[in-house]
Amino acid sequence: MITEVLTACGRDEDGRPLSPSAAWSLTVGTRLAALLRVAAESGNALAAVTMSCPACGEVLESEFDLGAVAELEAAPPADLVHVSHGGATLMFRRPTGEDQRGWVAAAAAEPESAARAMAARLRVAADDVRSEVPLDDEWIARLDQALAAADPLVSFVLSAGCPSCGAACSRPVDLAALALAQLRAVQGQLYDSVHRLALAYHWTEREIFDLPAGRRTRYLSLVGAA
């Protein structure tokens, strides 16, 4: 779904529509940032998230701007992360959408070894590192921490102070699911707009979509006033 949104709305550096292969090759963080920007520009940039205070149980609702969060990827770290353990340092690249697509089948086929298969796919060979270094559980744990630090959007956590007791509250947020939910809401509003204009003016869907957004809004206000 993310790839479909990016290819429908995205452009490459030359201003041409983004191809599916190009969208899949982007890092997961870059794909998320692009998706957030599309959602923010669709007309509903603010997203609301609720969390419970661990100290007093107060329910907090926090709003944040999807476009502002997307800027966390504006100056990302290098695509390679270095992980050290047991006197050795290995290099891993940040995962891409293509990696995610490949992991779906791997995780389903061998769930017990899926994490090691993921790490092996991201590992970058280096001449000064022994190729026989095995990726044990400690390597996987350290890689997980390094990738979380390198991709703030993938491991996004919203933090706030409780207004009742002052305790610190936090909650992991699935930004992809949040952005797609925003787009679904906007899509529903668009269907409603088409329905109202078609009933009032007997235009086809294509004719309604061909109208600039400002003119559609103006006609909707006239329909409402009438």
The model carries a pTM of: 0.85
Identify the H or E element spanning 5. helix 2-9
pLDDT of residue 141: 93
Same-domain check for residues 105 and 213: no
Tens of pLDDT, residue by residue over 3-42, are 999 999 988 888 899 999 999 999 999 999 999 999 999 8
The better pLDDT of the pair 114, 138 is held by: 138
Same-domain check for residues 218 and 113: no
Please count the structural domains in the chain: 3
Radius of gyration over every alpha carbon of the chain, rounded to an integer in angstroms: 22
Inside any domain, residue 206: yes
Residue numbers of the domain that contains 199: 188-225
Inside any domain, residue 30: yes
